[in-house]
Amino acid sequence: LAGAVLAGVSLLFLTMLTCQQQYLAVSLITLSLVVADIAFTSGYACSFLELAPPYVGFLTGINNVFGSLAGVLSPTLVGLVTPNGTHEEWNIVLFVTAGFYFLGAVVYLIFGSSELQSWAVDEEKIPLLGDQEDMEDVRHKALLQ
């Protein structure tokens, strides 16, 4: 959440710079990418393990498909928006990108959770509490492995 917001804010600050402030521009782009990547790797990418441990591979695959589509389409869309490469055209790209960061943060605030999902739990494999016979069987199998 904080990474998405900070990445978006740094892109908004980037729109306020002139072409003579190249070092500051590179610093803001770097900041945006670093905080977004830290937020992704330490939060979003790990959340599949908490949401649905048995389906991590499937969920990661779906995530990678949509991420790859965005990576394929983005250069084409940016090329369409910036035919002349002017400052104003690039500001549109930066505003849209910052908007996506903020939209992701708002969606996470409203719908985000790290709780184990009920559909990810196989009720048949969970031993009942108090059923000592099942617990002994689980302990015995664990010791044999």
User: Alpha helices of 1-145 — where are they, by DSSP H?
Assistant: 2-15, 22-39, 45-51, 56-81, 87-111, 132-144
Q: Which of the four pLDDT bands, split at 50, 70 and 90, describes residue 121?
A: confident
Q: Which of the four pLDDT bands, split at 50, 70 and 90, describes residue 5?
A: very high
DSSP 102-129: HHHHHHHHHH---SPPGGG--GGGSPPT
Q: What is the pLDDT of residues 8-61, one digit of tens each?
A: 999 999 999 998 999 999 999 999 999 999 888 877 778 888 888 888 999 989
Tell me how far CA of residue 7 lies from CA of 73, 127, 137, in angstroms. Answer: 21, 45, 51
Q: What is the pLDDT of residues 96-106, one digit of tens each?
A: 999 999 999 99
Helices 2-15 and 22-39 meet at what angle, rounded to 10?
160
Q: What is the pLDDT of residues 67-95, one digit of tens each?
A: 899 999 999 999 999 999 999 999 999 99
